[in-house]
């Protein structure tokens, strides 16, 4: 496309803060379009930036009611777009609300500035299950009609694109309005979300015809993360199935061997949306946009289970049976069951547009794996990863690895009962120095293996072409030391943070799996934080790290394996073996770090020792800057 209509927007996107909306805005900007993003709260997340931007433009403070901000405001959307390489100079952020009547709550000034828009995208909706009927209708039906009526007032309108859903609009003929009895039946049968999408689909098509609005309806299936980064933004539906699979809470799968829940990557879908005005010249289209090569649901779940290193359910339960059982028993949300069918969809018209635009579906199995990686990395939307990782085969373990796998300056190995997220604070202090972070096998997010920890570490480091510093916390000191002894030529130094084998042994209950396993399995993030960090204040990073560890401990087997390792690592023979290795065998420089409250009690041999005041066994959580400084020195840089 590459053309703009002067400085004023020629495309407008409603729902621009949403998952589909933001990727569509990004794609339109990449095409060189000038885009208005209509969002409800332009100053959300960054009120000061929004207020300043509005003041600079209008000489007034940012209005509490809808009004104009520019790309400097708009909450976090402009920052997200910039972070994804967009030029936000051609972005205008406008306050508006689908529930604001046919004027959409736009100020008169904004409405005027949007007079010349040619393409209107409606990706706004309330997308949730468990909604009330009116709550869903107000935005998804009435709001969609408001967008339609507003679009009808744009003199140069080329296309209105309405995002529907792949299970709606399948009927023979759309009707709107429906008599109340039919409407009640629709909402009862489908639930409020899907009912409202079905009603809206008919409503916009009927009213568009009445008003002569050039409408295209797109019906996406489940939209998954970006095809290369896996980045997601929506965590309901199929993402919840992946979450349950990951957490060991998917004992059986609803549906049959042929149940088909098609997916569509968000980048392909956004490109498709942005291509419609040019490549689907005739309005009136209904396009089912989905990847027909998506494996059937049981196969899809098996694929992801194998990728994540968890067990796939073997049992299939017919949807009809689940419907008859109480939801409290099955844990199934009745609104999601409607998606579990064997139906296939006619994608021919969508494919014609895609072909004209030169768009191809990315390989679906790879996209699914990358999406699953990112879902786990972001803890299913609850804690965005600082350094997103993914799953790889390492020493027979599906291992969670993040960072630079071939040229790291540092290799960071966590202790117990933590995972790789425990290095978040330290990573933040390293100014982007390349680091490789992995969860030890059987711990955190990594699956167990029968290989020894040393064999696992050797395999992890096999592709590494640099001579990194290995930084190991507590229990990870064992494989790190053994690796250093076996392969001194492959690393430049060892930094052992809280080398447990030189410190007081862990308390006896923690070394007793029968006691430690149930304790760790049920421990809350708050309790774990208190026990690891004390009652004092701790940083957000430290709390996020501990929350990640607690979440993994709740998954099947992780607490048990952690408890066993605590026992085995503390055997006197193992402690003595590591002490001997440290003082007699290891030839690379070794730096030992210990908190003042958990000092070294055994001879450190020739290693350099640094004591960090006012902390205990987890100084990398409490004092990340001090650890990073010593790491840099170990790497030969000034601390």
Ligand X SMILES: NC(=O)c1ccc[n+]([C@@H]2O[C@H](COP(=O)([O-])OP(=O)(O)OC[C@H]3O[C@@H](n4cnc5c(N)ncnc54)[C@H](OP(=O)(O)O)[C@@H]3O)[C@@H](O)[C@H]2O)c1
Indicate whether 7 belongs to the interface with ligand X (CB under 6 A).
Answer: no
Of 125-133, 372-380, 423-431, 463-471: span binding ligand X (CB under 6 A): 125-133
Indicate whether 223 belongs to the interface with ligand X (CB under 6 A).
Answer: yes
Q: Which of 117, 120, 139, 461 binds ligand X (CB under 6 A)?
A: 139
CB of 221 or CB of 517, closer to ligand X? 221
Helices and strands in the chain, H and E counts: 26, 19
User: 41's torsion region: left (phi>0), alpha (psi -120 to 50) or beta?
Assistant: beta
Can the peptide bond before residue 26 be classed as cis, meaning omega within 30 degrees of 0?
Answer: no
Report helix, strand or coil for 108.
Answer: helix
What are the C-alpha distances in Å from 61 to residues 71, 104, 279, 612? 16, 22, 42, 48
Of 122-130, 423-431, 495-503, 520-528: span binding ligand X (CB under 6 A): 122-130
In whole angstroms, give the CA distance from residue 639 to residue 632.
5
In whole angstroms, give the CA distance from residue 266 to residue 150.
27
Indicate whether 126 belongs to the interface with ligand X (CB under 6 A).
Answer: yes
Indicate whether 481 belongs to the interface with ligand X (CB under 6 A).
Answer: no
What are the C-alpha distances in Å from 574 to residues 482, 499, 510? 12, 13, 17
Of 61-69, 82-90, 203-211, 217-225: span binding ligand X (CB under 6 A): 217-225
Of 19-27, 48-56, 392-400, 419-427: span binding ligand X (CB under 6 A): 19-27
What are the C-alpha distances in Å from 453 to residues 186, 239, 460, 468, 485? 57, 32, 10, 19, 14
Of 25-33, 85-93, 121-129, 178-186: span binding ligand X (CB under 6 A): 121-129
Of 11-19, 280-288, 507-515, 623-631: span binding ligand X (CB under 6 A): 11-19
Of 34-42, 382-390, 486-494, 552-560: span binding ligand X (CB under 6 A): 34-42
Residues 6+ apart with CB under 8 A from 432: none
CB-side neighbour CA atoms (13 Å) of 144: 29
Indicate whether 99 belongs to the interface with ligand X (CB under 6 A).
Answer: yes
Indicate whether 114 belongs to the interface with ligand X (CB under 6 A).
Answer: no
Residues 6+ apart with CB under 8 A from 111: 103
Q: Which of 12, 29, 71, 98 binds ligand X (CB under 6 A)?
A: 98
Q: Which of 9, 12, 13, 21 binds ligand X (CB under 6 A)?
A: 21
CB of 165 or CB of 255, closer to ligand X? 165
CB of 20 or CB of 91, closer to ligand X? 20
Q: Which of 42, 66, 73, 165 binds ligand X (CB under 6 A)?
A: 165
User: What are the φ and ψ backbone dihedral angles of 386, each rounded to 5 degrees?
Assistant: -75, -45
Q: DSSP string covering 34-79, please?
A: -EEEEES-TTSS-HHHHHHHHHHHHSSPPPSSS-B--TT-STTHHH
Residues 6+ apart with CB under 8 A from 179: none
Of 16-24, 333-341, 544-552, 588-596: span binding ligand X (CB under 6 A): 16-24
- What's the closest the beta carbon of residue 143 comes to ligand X, in angstroms? 6
Indicate whether 143 belongs to the interface with ligand X (CB under 6 A).
Answer: yes
Indicate whether 276 belongs to the interface with ligand X (CB under 6 A).
Answer: no
Q: Which of 13, 53, 95, 97 binds ligand X (CB under 6 A)?
A: 97
Provide the 8-state DSSP code for 500: G
CB of 224 or CB of 634, closer to ligand X? 224
Indicate whether 619 belongs to the interface with ligand X (CB under 6 A).
Answer: no
CB of 25 or CB of 528, closer to ligand X? 25
Of 14-22, 47-55, 405-413, 502-510: span binding ligand X (CB under 6 A): 14-22
| Residue 614: closest CA among 637, 636, 598, 633 | 598
| Residue 170: closest CA among 144, 145, 205, 139 | 205
Indicate whether 28 belongs to the interface with ligand X (CB under 6 A).
Answer: no
Provide the 8-state DSSP code for 226: -
Chain mean position to CA 535: 30
Q: Which of 9, 13, 17, 31 binds ligand X (CB under 6 A)?
A: 17
Q: Which of 27, 90, 159, 197 binds ligand X (CB under 6 A)?
A: 197
Indicate whether 19 belongs to the interface with ligand X (CB under 6 A).
Answer: yes
Give the per-residue contact string, 320-339, with ligand X (x = CB under 6 A; - = no).
--------------------
Helix 364-377 vs helix 238-246: crossing angle, to nearest 10 = 60
Strands (E), 480-538: 493-497
User: What are the φ and ψ backbone dihedral angles of 216, each rounded to 5 degrees?
Assistant: -125, 130
Indicate whether 67 belongs to the interface with ligand X (CB under 6 A).
Answer: no
Indicate whether 243 belongs to the interface with ligand X (CB under 6 A).
Answer: no
Residues 6+ apart with CB under 8 A from 97: 40, 66, 104, 105
Report helix, strand or coil for 513.
Answer: helix
Residue nearest to ligand X (CB): 18
Indicate whether 303 belongs to the interface with ligand X (CB under 6 A).
Answer: no
Indicate whether 222 belongs to the interface with ligand X (CB under 6 A).
Answer: yes
Cβ atoms within 10 Å of 32's Cβ, excluding its own:
12
CB of 78 or CB of 395, closer to ligand X? 78
CB of 19 or CB of 150, closer to ligand X? 19
In whole angstroms, give the CA distance from residue 498 to residue 614.
14
Residues of span 568-607 touching ligand X by CB under 6 A: none
- What's the closest the beta carbon of residue 355 comes to ligand X, in angstroms? 22
Judged by the rule CB under 6 A, the positions of this chain that interact with ligand X are: 14-15, 17-21, 39-41, 97-99, 123-127, 139, 143, 163, 165, 197, 220, 222-223, 234
């Amino acid at each position: 496309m590459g053309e703009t209509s002067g400085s004023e927007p020629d495309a407008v996107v409603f729902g621009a803060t949403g998952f589909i909306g933001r990727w569509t805005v990004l794609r339109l900007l990449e095409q060189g379009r000038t885009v208005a993003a209509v969002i409800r709260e332009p100053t959300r997340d960054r009120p000061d930036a929004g207020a300043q931007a509005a003041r600079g433009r209008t000489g007034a403070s940012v209005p509490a009611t809808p009004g104009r901000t520019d790309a400097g405001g708009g909450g976090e959307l402009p920052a997200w777009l910039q972070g994804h390489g967009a030029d936000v100079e051609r972005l205008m952020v406008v306050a508006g609300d689908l529930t604001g009547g046919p004027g959409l709550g736009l100020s008169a000034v904004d409405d005027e500035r949007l007079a010349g828009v040619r393409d209107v995208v409606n990706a706004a909706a309330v997308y949730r299950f468990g909604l009330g009927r009116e709550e869903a209708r107000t935005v998804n039906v009435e709001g969609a009609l408001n967008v339609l009526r507003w679009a009808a007032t744009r003199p140069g309108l080329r296309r209105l694109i309405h995002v529907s859903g792949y299970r709606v609009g399948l009927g023979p003929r759309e009707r709107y309005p429906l008599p109340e009895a039919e409407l009640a039946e629709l909402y009862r049968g489908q639930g409020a979300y899907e009912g409202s999408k079905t009603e809206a689909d008919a409503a916009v098509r009927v009213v568009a015809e009445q008003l002569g609005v050039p409408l295209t309806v797109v019906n996406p299936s489940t939209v998954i993360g970006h095809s290369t980064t896996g980045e997601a933004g929506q965590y309901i539906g199929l993402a919840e199935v992946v979450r349950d699979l990951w957490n060991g809470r998917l004992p059986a799968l609803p549906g049959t061997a042929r149940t088909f829940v098609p997916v569509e990557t968000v980048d392909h879908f956004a490109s498709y949306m942005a291509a419609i005005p040019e490549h689907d010249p005739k309005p009136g289209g209904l396009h089912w946009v989905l990847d027909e090569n998506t494996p059937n649901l049981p196969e899809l779940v098996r694929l992801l289970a194998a990728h994540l290193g968890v067990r796939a359910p073997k049992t299939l339960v017919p949807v009809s049976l689940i419907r008859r059982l109480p939801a409290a028993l099955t844990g199934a949300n009745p609104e999601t069951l409607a998606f579990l069918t064997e139906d296939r969809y006619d994608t021919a018209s969508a494919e014609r547009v895609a072909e004209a635009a030169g768009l191809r579906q990315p390989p679906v199995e790879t996209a699914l794996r990358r999406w699953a990686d990112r879902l786990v990395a972001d803890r299913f939307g609850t804690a965005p990863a600082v350094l997103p990782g993914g799953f790889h085969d390492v020493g027979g373990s599906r291992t969670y690895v993040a960072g630079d796998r071939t040229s790291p300056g540092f290799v960071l190995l966590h202790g117990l009962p933590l995972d790789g997220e425990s290095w978040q604070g330290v990573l933040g202090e390293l100014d982007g120095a390349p680091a490789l972070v992995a969860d030890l096998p059987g711990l955190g997010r990594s699956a167990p293996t029968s290989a020894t920890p040393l064999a696992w570490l050797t395999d992890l480091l096999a592709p590494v072409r640099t001579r990194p510093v290995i930084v190991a916390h507590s229990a990870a000191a064992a494989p790190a030391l053994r690796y250093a002894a076996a392969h001194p030529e492959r690393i430049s130094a060892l930094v052992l943070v809280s080398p447990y084998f030189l410190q007081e042994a862990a308390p006896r209950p923690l070394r007793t799996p029968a006691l430690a396993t149930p304790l760790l399995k049920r421990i809350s993030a708050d309790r774990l934080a208190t026990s690891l960090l004390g009652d004092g204040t701790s940083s957000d990073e430290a709390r996020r790290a501990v929350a990640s560890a607690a979440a993994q401990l709740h998954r099947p087997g992780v607490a048990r394996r952690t408890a066993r390792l605590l026992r085995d690592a503390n055997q006197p023979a193992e402690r003595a073996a590591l002490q001997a290795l440290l003082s007699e065998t290891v030839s690379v420089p070794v730096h030992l770090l210990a908190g003042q409250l958990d000092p070294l009690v055994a001879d450190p041999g020739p290693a350099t020792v640094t004591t960090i005041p006012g902390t205990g066994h987890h100084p990398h959580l409490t004092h990340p800057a001090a650890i990073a400084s010593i790491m840099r020195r170990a790497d030969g840089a000034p601390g």
